[in-house]
Structure 1
Amino acid sequence: MVKSSGVSAATATATASVAGVDVGAAWQSAPHPVLVISPSGVVRAVNDAAAPLFPAMRAGAPFDDAPARWLADAHQRFTDPLRSEDGDPVRGPVGDRSFEARPSRAENGDVVWWLVDDTARRSAEDALRAERERTGFLAQASTELLASLNAGRCMDVTARLAAQHLADAAVVVTPPSGRRWTVSFCGPDGQVVRDKAVADPASVPGLAEALRGFPPVPSRWIDPAAVPDRFKPSALGDIGSVVVTPLPGHGVAAGALILMRRSGHAAFNESEETFARLFAARAGAAMSAARLYAEQAAITRTLMRELLPPRLEQVSGVEFAGGYRASNDTDRVGGDFYDVHAGAGPDEESLVVLGDVCGKGLEAAVQTGKIRNTLHALLPLATDHQRVLRLLNGALLDSDHTRFATLVLASVARRGGTVRLRVTSAGHPAPLVVRVDGRVEEADTRGSLVGALPEVTSKTASLDLAPGESCLLYTDGITEAMGGPMGEELFGEERLRSALSECAGLPAEAVVERIRMLAAQWVGTGRHDDMAVVAITAPHHAHLSAVDGHTRGRYTA
């Protein structure tokens, strides 16, 4: 047994035993460093593997003088009788290596510290932790970037995330329009500023290549001093390291990302540049998707501009009003449509067209557009309804589309204090007329639908509207609206007539709103077909105006 008094290292090595086992045989030649320390903190022995780690440690020397201060503190805690240390391992550095130390008690009270080099394991754990953090950041970035299809907001999010996690400051640059670039800056304060910059792409090393989608230039090749001040966030200060990487898009680069670190901070290493490219790939995809969405939205707005309903007022002393509701409340267009074409002069007839194309949604809307355009081309023949319907029928039969349509044409003109109409139905519900006394009459017109048969037949009816009387053109989406208390009953023509009788003497817009409101209440949240109505009213006091004061009224949906 090792005596409690100090002994020479050689003697300790030769004669010390731990738990009754000969020291030399048990641990002197162990592959792991081993230290034997007395409860009072005196070094008893140092094995061969520990000697190179602790060259100044000698048997009999105080353990407090050891270079591994963390191990000396752990030994003091372990041997303190007032503490209840359970012998859990402790970790700390020795030189440039990391070790895990585990204590065990010998029979004489000495403490044997077994040290295991865990540098490689700790390095692997740190790398795994860093990779998990990076993966978590990329997931967070993807979520935030895809939360909006606004191109400007995607730029700002990209700059903010990059400045928070990848660098001291970040700049996002989109491809220039002429010499003006849209730029989002984010500095160390986390505030994002979007601005327009005028510059030459070649003024920033690697930027022109990144905007064309070429691989990034290594940061060690970029001189931070060459970055123009217009691309530096004001709060950044001197730059010590720069990374310029493309933001890949769908076929073309969505822009470029410039990362900057302050002078005095560690320069970007190869691993960080690679991770920056992974982030840039996600950011570029989100920015490109937002830009494509913005382009598609702009195209849609342009194509639908003529389809949106204008405010119909008076044309040549006649009131017009129209309303439309698509079968899907998220749609803006469908298979029902109406047009109001003003006459060339105050005494000329205006042509009103209301129709219903077979089907719903965008495909039906495409057919309505073709019908609209065809009817617009046939306006010089508008006085002859039968001829117009024949020519339209031929055009539809000659097209590749197999959709048919029902129509009602109304030629309208004011003659003195009376509004005179000629109405022709082509497979469409006949218009209804509400008189001043509330009586509702059906126009005596009928005909075959267009786009289905080689020949169309039709009958035209003439009507006169006294002041305060209205003629209602409607599609079957109104009368066939399913709803009611049980949700299984049609709105029907009788309810439509009853509602219309209450509109005697009302202006055209009030008539339309009344019918639309009742139909909407009837269907509630249930499914329904496209609905369209047009009211033609002889006003009590007529005056001449354009559809919206200065243009011709025209609506298709």
Structure 2
Amino acid sequence: RPPAAAPALETAEALAPRPYGTADGRDWLGRGALSFLAEASDLLAGQLDESLVTALTGQLIVPRLADWCAVWLEDEATVRGGDGNAPARVWHASEDRAEELARALEKEPPCPRDGLRSGPEPYPWPGDALGPRGARGTALAYRLIAGGRPLGTLVIGRCGAERFPDEVTGLVEDLGRRVALAIGAARQYARQATISAVLQRGLLPGAVAEIPGVSSALVYEPRDQGGPSGDFYDLFPAGDGRWCFAVGDVQGKGPEAAVVIGLARPWLRLLAREGYRVADVLDRLNQLLLDDATEAADAAARALVAAGGRPVAAGDGPQTRFLSLLYGELTPHDGGVRCTLASAGHPLPLLLRPDGEVRTAARPQTLLGVVEDETYTSETVELGPGDSLLCVTDGVTERRSGSRQFDDGDGLARALSGCAGLSAELIAERIRRLVHEFGGGLPEDDLALLVLQAG
């Protein structure tokens, strides 16, 4: 039983009724079935993993409603289980018999009839797996259907009985509908997570550039491992002995954030390679975001009016897409690295000298995508041997511990000062560790940090 699944399985065990063969069980069938179904629905609906849904199904049914049960899962074309035609999950009231039962059931996989009837339908008794030769019982199969699509089959069995009581067959049919909905939701979540992961990989560079005379280290930890992060980074050659870097944070998460990143990152690279300097790049990217949001709002308004709806009022429809961004250009030369950079609504970069002195390396300016015709400015600092530049997103500075934030009282600068003499990799790892330890639990926001150190 996986640790993450244990609480849900224990809840299912407590929720399920007494075996209906007992006096308490018969009384429960008359009084508590509706409450059981409602609470089982809540429990199943909270699961995003179909394997856990099937585990909960067995825990709810065995031994309260049946002596054993099994679940086969299928996609649009084929039955799929643990191995060939084996069921994905088997439960037996006697745990030492579950493996033998699974082997027997593998020989008799469900053969659903045409149509989408949920059942119950008679199912062949798995013979010697459940007792001495000749021992019999009854088994029923229920098709798991959601949204008009078959997702699998649930089979229940009772030893030494010719039939299940009607109350039990009806209750399991209702439970099966809820199981099917939960499996369908879990699969939809898994599909979205896969798409998001592919999308996220496409939005981030496959590898950061290596810069002569500069060591770099990156930490990137999206809060939602299954979906696009609002944070992004880049480090790339821009030609003419220049390299450019960016650390950004889009307002919001998910597909909307992915759209902004999908606009910003290629435009940064294009403008940099066309020779635009740091401040000019931010000017143009700011206007691009504003123009894109305006076009999206106009398109939505036109579509709504064409469909006979009312015109979109101010404040309705697509909103301006805000982006905080730290963007800079590195030019290595004899004796160090020239760094020109600008911060647009982003946590300010910190410069660490070898003696432990820390200072900010840029001044605050307006978020991108907010003010029309905003003019941005850049600043230039010289990085000598051993100097390190730390660039972070607000997942670092705003990491919370109760009412406090990590950067309260210049907490980030103090932490960085203690990193004097460390390599870029060790600085990045120490800051990451301190941020995690500060909150005590899992981070509540995406986290990204980039360290650039002159050799």
Q: TM-score range by the shorter chain?
A: 0.5 to 0.7
1:126 deviates by 10
Does structure 1 residue 279 correspond to structure 2 residue 175? yes
Q: After superposition, give the CA deviation of every residue in 1:408-467 in whole Å (9 maximum; x if it has no partner).
A: 322224335523323234455664433334444554777654323332423344433222
- 1:205-244 correspondence to structure 2 within 5 Å: 207-209=112-114, 213-216=116-119, 219=122, 224=124, 234-235=129-130, 241-244=138-141
Does structure 1 residue 255 correspond to structure 2 residue 148? no
Distance of aligned partners of 1:164 and 1:385 in 2 relative to their CA distance in 1, 3 Å threshold: same
Query: What is the alpha-carbon distance in structure 1 between the residues aligned to residue 224 and residue 118 of structure 2?
Result: 46
Partner of 2:234: 340
Query: What is the alpha-carbon distance in structure 1 between the residues aligned to residue 440 and residue 158 of structure 2?
Result: 60
Q: Residue 233 of structure 2 aligns to which amino acid in structure 1?
A: D
The 3-state SS of whatever aligns with 2:234 is strand
TM-score, with structure 1 as normaliser = 0.55
Query: What is the alpha-carbon distance in structure 2 between the residues aligned to residue 523 and residue 270 of structure 1?
Result: 54
Partner of 2:422: 506
Q: After superposition, give the CA deviation of every residue in 1:355-399 in whole Å (9 maximum; x if it has no partner).
A: 354x55558844455433543454533653244223312211112
Partner of 2:315: none
Query: What is the alpha-carbon distance in structure 1 between the residues aligned to residue 92 and residue 405 of structure 2?
Result: 62
Higher relative contact order (CA 8 A, sep 6+): 2
Distance of aligned partners of 1:233 and 1:278 in 2 relative to their CA distance in 1, 3 Å threshold: farther
Contact residue 216 and residue 450 of structure 2 kept, 8 A? yes
Partner of 2:308: none
Partner of 2:376: 458
1:536 deviates by 1.2
Q: After superposition, give the CA deviation of every residue in 1:30-62 in whole Å (9 maximum; x if it has no partner).
A: xxxxxxxxxxxxxxxxxxxxxxxxxxxxxxxxx
- 1:161-240 correspondence to structure 2 within 5 Å: 161-162=60-61, 164-176=63-75, 178-182=77-81, 183=87, 184-186=89-91, 189-190=94-95, 191-192=97-98, 204=111, 207-209=112-114, 213-216=116-119, 219=122, 224=124, 234-235=129-130
Partner of 2:215: 319
Does structure 1 residue 435 correspond to structure 2 residue 353? yes
Q: CA RMSD for the aligned pairs?
A: 4.9
Contact residue 389 and residue 456 of structure 1 kept, 8 A? no
- 1:3-402 correspondence to structure 2 within 5 Å: 130-132=29-31, 145=44, 148-159=47-58, 161-162=60-61, 164-176=63-75, 178-182=77-81, 183=87, 184-186=89-91, 189-190=94-95, 191-192=97-98, 204=111, 207-209=112-114, 213-216=116-119, 219=122, 224=124, 234-235=129-130, 241-260=138-157, 265-268=161-164, 270-305=166-201, 315-323=211-219, 337-343=231-237, 348-357=241-250, 359=251, 365-366=257-258, 367-368=260-261, 370-381=263-274, 384-400=277-293, 401-402=319-320
Distance of aligned partners of 1:521 and 1:216 in 2 relative to their CA distance in 1, 3 Å threshold: closer
Contact residue 197 and residue 226 of structure 2 kept, 8 A? no
Distance of aligned partners of 1:524 and 1:363 in 2 relative to their CA distance in 1, 3 Å threshold: farther
Query: What is the alpha-carbon distance in structure 1 between the residues aligned to residue 248 and residue 275 of structure 2?
Result: 16
Contact residue 448 and residue 457 of structure 1 kept, 8 A? no
Query: Identity of paired residues, percent?
Result: 30
- Structure 1: segments with no counterpart, 5+ residues: 1-124, 540-557
The 3-state SS of whatever aligns with 1:174 is strand
Distance of aligned partners of 1:213 and 1:128 in 2 relative to their CA distance in 1, 3 Å threshold: same
Contact residue 215 and residue 246 of structure 1 kept, 8 A? yes
Distance of aligned partners of 1:490 and 1:385 in 2 relative to their CA distance in 1, 3 Å threshold: closer
- Structure 2: segments with no counterpart, 5+ residues: 1-23, 82-86, 294-318
When Rg is computed on C-alpha atoms for both structures, the one with the higher figure is 1
Query: What is the alpha-carbon distance in structure 2 between the residues aligned to residue 265 and residue 255 of structure 1?
Result: 25
Query: What is the alpha-carbon distance in structure 2 between the residues aligned to residue 403 and residue 430 of structure 1?
Result: 21
Q: Residue 509 of structure 1 aligns to which amino acid in structure 2?
A: E
Partner of 1:407: 325
Relative to its length, the structure with more helix (as a share) is 2
Contact residue 326 and residue 346 of structure 2 kept, 8 A? yes
Q: Residue 273 of structure 1 aligns to which amino acid in structure 2?
A: T
Distance of aligned partners of 1:480 and 1:287 in 2 relative to their CA distance in 1, 3 Å threshold: closer
Query: What is the alpha-carbon distance in structure 2 between the residues aligned to residue 148 and residue 294 of structure 1?
Result: 11
Higher mean C-alpha deviation, range 474-483 or range 146-155: 474-483
Query: What is the alpha-carbon distance in structure 2 between the residues aligned to residue 534 and residue 129 of structure 1?
Result: 61
Partner of 1:99: none
The 3-state SS of whatever aligns with 1:399 is helix
Q: Residue 321 of structure 1 aligns to which amino acid in structure 2?
A: A
Query: What is the alpha-carbon distance in structure 1 between the residues aligned to residue 55 and residue 404 of structure 2?
Result: 48
Contact residue 418 and residue 464 of structure 1 kept, 8 A? yes
Contact residue 320 and residue 509 of structure 1 kept, 8 A? yes
1:151 deviates by 1.4
Query: What is the alpha-carbon distance in structure 1 between the residues aligned to residue 433 and residue 154 of structure 2?
Result: 53
Query: What is the alpha-carbon distance in structure 2 between the residues aligned to residue 213 and residue 132 of structure 1?
Result: 30
